[in-house]
A and B are shown apart, each in its own frame.
Chain A
Amino acid sequence: MSGLPLLEAAGLSLRFGPVPALEDVSIEVYPGEVVAIVGESGSGKTTLLRVLSGMMRPEAGVVRYRDPEGTVHGVQEMGEAALRRLHRTDWGFVHQNPRDGLRMRVSAGGNIGERLMAVGARHYGNIRAEAAEWLRRVEIEPGRIDGMPALFSGGMQQRLQIARTLVTRPRLVFMDEPTGGLDVSVQARLLDMIRALVADLGLAVLIVTHDIAAARLLAHRLLVMRRGRVVEQGLTDRVLDDPQHEYTQLLVASVLAA
């Protein structure tokens, strides 16, 4: 494990009118570390994810990203082209709704291949072989490589989105409620698949979820957010088994046997 964080943010603040979305939030993510941000709707967790991934600008504070060569970049100072390249190479983003992360009228293979082609892959046979391999890894029958995602089940669509995101081997993946819209049985399988892939690939993941059980299964560390503030953070099992803050206690108490 490297001693330096992949992503560091300090003093992030952002208000939507009178509503504080982020108030003085700081966070680091280290290589190979899964960090979950939990909290109820409107707690600011999705806003935090958007700010950290450069999709939204904070009013105060900085977000820094360390590239594979060790150079640190201010995410807000990066040009749009550099940020987009980053999102296709060293970073990935898994949306809650697979429709936001997939091209529904492009085949499964084309969806996975797009990220490879965007970074310069120009050998059809290799792209296709890579796409088939990733379908296998996310437990989609490689025979469906030419199938349209619109005809896939919700769970398959989400797995396809994950394959598409991971194919360029990012080191840091942002996930926004990746199991949000799925049936409970499908959620379990997806979470387990994410857990295995993350461990296999040594990914760092920043996952936003309101699902405490998902956070417990996946995350090494937990941040609890409420009204734009991080009210508690620490090792996942410490936060969930011995919650200190009133809000965390309420959150944990509202879950059945997490």
Chain B
Amino acid sequence: MSWAIHTEGLAKSFTLHLQGGTCIPVLEGVELGVAPGECVALAGPSGAGKSTLMRLLYGNYGVGAGRILIRHQDMEVDLATADARLVRAVRRETLGYVSQFLRVIPRVPTLDIVAEPMMVRGLPREEAKARAAALLARLNLPARLHGLPPATFSGGEQQRVNLARGFAPGYPVLLLDEPTASLDAANREVVVGLIDAAKSAGTAIIGIFHDTEVRDRVADRLFEVHPMPVAA
């Protein structure tokens, strides 16, 4: 099987130096593989480490043990050991991440926030902005808001800006953390459509979906994340 991204023996624990060096194991022996065009939903009880796994995959958390192998351009890169510049290159070209919350940068207009990742990939400014505007319109964000910074937007509006930013560049691997959490039914449909389109285009998707209805419609299979036994 040719994976777009897969893990081998992935483990993560947190050492809290400020709490006397307490060690909290969160994940161990995770073997997850996702093929191009496949959508895998992470499942498991709250606190099982689904979000931690997502953050490990994005390089946001440091890997404790094991490997995260991702097909980046024509190479296979181990994100667990790649240096910061390589991780940035992977994030720029290959790996997208839609988090639950938009990290708002003050004073930057919505359209620029969405267009920016396309521009750093070399798309001309005007084309990037046109694609950003089209995607925002599809997500029912009215054009009058495109020129405003999203700081004052509602949670749902910010989430849609975040989705547009994540989907617009067409990354080969996309991580979705609760992509429909604060959306109404109509916009949920739009997101389902975006996910389906991305899958058809060959994107490998890993998602956390609390909305089981959406999950069942988009996910090809579930991947169970098991909680670690609590240390005595």
Contacts and interface: CB of A to CB of B under 8 A. Distances in A.
- Any A–B CB pair closer than 8 Å: yes
Interface of A: 1, 30, 33, 188-189, 192, 195-196, 217, 220-221, 233-235, 237-238, 241-242, 244-246, 249-250, 253
B75 to A, nearest CB: 14
12 contacts: A30-B85, A33-B85, A192-B106, A192-B108, A233-B84, A235-B59, A235-B87, A238-B62, A238-B87, A241-B55, A245-B17, A249-B16
A241 B60 contact: yes
B107 interface: yes
Given A245-B17, A253-B18, 11 more contacts: A192-B106, A192-B107, A196-B108, A220-B84, A234-B62, A235-B60, A235-B84, A237-B60, A241-B55, A241-B60, A244-B62
B201 interface: no
B60 A246 contact: no
B105 interface: yes
B18 A246 contact: yes
Contacts of A192: 105-108
The 6 closest A-B pairs by CB, nearest first: A246-B17, A242-B61, A235-B84, A221-B84, A192-B107, A249-B17
Contacts of B221: none
Contacts of A33: 85
A30 B86 CA distance: 12
B62 to A, nearest CB: 5
A195 B105 CA distance: 10
Candidate in A188, A234, A235, A241 with the most chain B CB atoms within 10 angstroms: A235
A241 B59 CA distance: 10
Interface in B5-51: 14-18
B106 A188 contact: yes
Contacts of B14: 242
A241 B88 CA distance: 16
B18 A249 contact: yes
